[in-house]
Amino acid sequence: MPKAELLIRQRDDLPNDVLIEIKIWQLPEIDPERPHGLKYSLYCGRHGKRLVGYDNERGKGDHRHIGDREESFVFVSMEQLIQDFYADAFRIIGELDDD
């Protein structure tokens, strides 16, 4: 059985102990839960706590976490996914207190 191909693996350590990690895989085939053929995990956290996350784990489909809130979103493209993630992440980072 063919394996998923890792397309992007990126880690950025930002000021104020903020960590951003992006992992995106091309799946060997599409399915109803992942019609775009991608599996992904985009994470922005600080001190081990997730601030923003985008993922598509089985059973949940395309969704994002903003703080404690979880909501579905419509996947448009990999480029749009990354752009939307960074927009949310930098908005939340900008709201952080420097402690």
Question: What is the per-residue pLDDT for 53?
Answer: 98
Extract the residue ranges of the chain whose pLDDT is less than 70: 97-99
Model-wide pTM > 0.75: yes
Question: What is the per-residue pLDDT for 81?
Answer: 98
Q: Which of 73, 98, 77 is nearest to 14 (CA)?
A: 98
Q: Cα(57)–Cα(69) distance, rounded to whole angstroms?
A: 16
Question: What is the per-residue pLDDT for 36?
Answer: 96
Question: What is the per-residue pLDDT for 95?
Answer: 87
